[in-house]
Amino acid sequence: MRGSTPSFLPIGPGGIIGILGGGQLGRMLSLAAAKLGLRTHVYSDKADAPALDVATLRTIAPFDDKGALTKFARSCDAITFEFENVPSAAVAFLAHEKPTHPDARALAVTQDRFAEKTFLSDLGIGTAEFARADTFAEARGALSHIGAPSILKTRHLGYDGKGQAKIVADGDLASALQALREAPAILESLVDFAFECSVVAARAIDGSFIAYDPPENLHTDHILRRSQVPARLTPAQGAQAQAIAKQIADALDYVGVLAVEFFLTKSSALLVNEIAPRVHNSGHWTIEACVVSQFEQHIRAVAGWPLGDPSRHSDAVMDNLIGADAENWRSLAGGTGALHLYGKRDIRPGLKMGHVTRLSPLGAAKPIPRD
């Protein structure tokens, strides 16, 4: 049972880490587990998911199949997940069988944009102005309080800009609500940011904490296009961002890797945009540029191992390969940088197909042109 969690740990070589979700993050977690002599059991609701190619054990079943979940849990020594839209009921159910990290509370807070922003502001952490907009009346009240320009976002199941509608003028509210199909929503002020950055960090079962150097992140069409370290933050801003990530991880009694996405406003304030309770696209460069990657760090935390050394030995630029970008795999393979392809069967617009990380010596950072 859950109460005896610590006695299961640490999980030694040969142990099995269960991963809910079969995307590229699960694939890279499985590869990192293999490096430590651990094995993975991937549970996916899709038969062609990228992580299934590299897992020791596989289950393909819906996330509400209690029989499949129970069998999965019994084969694992500890369980985690690789995407935050996994049903929290499945995580709570599995936690009765095996140590499951991050826990259902971290998932619940981060699955609901309104609960997440409320949690952050209760901690005194800056965010965009926000208000609940579950009904038309609430949305109208929120807009009269926050004003335009603002963004209406669904509270649940949003990622990569999905479930968002911009409100440029008050008259846009009705069409924005329609675009979101009148789902429960949150209205946020539009932040006039200088740039976006993030902190990828890990917290272990004993509460120890590490944070990677914050990358600067460039999005196009709401999708991460590039992450680059170092970011254009002052040392004090970088330390402040890492301290905010620690405050969040401690408040959630979090175990595993989490990412905190920030806006640096034009007046130099750090505002949190969102928390991802998992390894994160803006931390992929840690595979090549750091002693221990975010993926290994997460496996270490979930398996009850000490956290590894997050130091960065190089500057790095990570470019995502989105949709048709992956058709260039031949020239990318012959170019500079470390190429990662996720093994997705179909190339679709907006789909993350792989990434390339290019390193340069510490302190020599300059924009690296795309191949």
Helix (H) or strand (E) holding 97: none
**Should residue 283 be labelled a site residue for ligand AMP when binding is judged by CB under 6 A?**
no
Q: Where are the alpha helices (DSSP H) in the chain?
A: 24-35, 66-75, 88-95, 104-111, 113-122, 136-146, 173-179, 235-251, 286-289, 294-302, 329-334
CB of 368 to ligand AMP, least distance (A): 21
CB 188 within 8 A of CB 151: yes
**Residues in contact with ligand AMP, total (CB under 6 A)?**
14
- Cβ-Cβ contacts under 8 Å for 166 (sequence gap 6 or more): 149, 150, 151, 152, 172, 176, 190
Q: Residues near 48 by Cβ (< 8 Å), separated by ≥ 6?
A: 345
Per CB under 6 A, the list member of 6, 12, 37, 161 interacting with ligand AMP is: 161
List CB contacts of 41: < 8 A, sequence separation 6 or more: 16, 17, 18, 19, 55, 56, 57, 58, 59, 72, 75, 76
**Cα(296)–Cα(149) distance, rounded to whole angstroms?**
41
Least distance (Å) from ligand AMP to the CB of residue 255? Answer: 23
Among 2, 46, 96, 222, binds ligand AMP (CB under 6 A): 222
- Amino acid identity of 82? E
Question: Is 315 among the residues that bind ligand AMP (CB under 6 A)?
Answer: no
62 binds ligand AMP per the rule CB under 6 A: no
184-192, 246-254, 292-300, 315-323 -> range binding ligand AMP (CB under 6 A): 184-192
By CB under 6 A, residue 158 contacts ligand AMP: yes
Judged by beta carbon, residue 38 or residue 276, the one nearer ligand AMP is: 276
> What distance in Å separates the CA atoms of residue 80 and residue 101, rounded to the nearest whole number?
5
Query: Can residue 307 be called a binding residue for ligand AMP (CB under 6 A)?
Result: no
Which residue's Cβ lies closest to ligand AMP?
A: 191
d(CA 349, CA 294): 27
Residues 122-151 that bind ligand AMP (CB under 6 A): 128, 151
Q: Does 74 bind ligand AMP (CB under 6 A)?
A: no
Q: How far apart are CA 260 and CA 266, in angstroms?
A: 19
84 near ligand AMP, rule: CB under 6 A: no
Query: Binding of ligand AMP at residue 274 (CB under 6 A)?
Result: yes
CB of 290 vs ligand AMP, minimal distance in Å: 23
179 touches ligand AMP by CB under 6 A:
no
Which of 33, 38, 152, 191 lies at the binding interface for ligand AMP (CB under 6 A)?
A: 191
In the complex, the residues that contact ligand AMP under the rule CB under 6 A are: 128, 151, 158-159, 161, 188, 190-191, 196, 219, 222, 261, 273-274
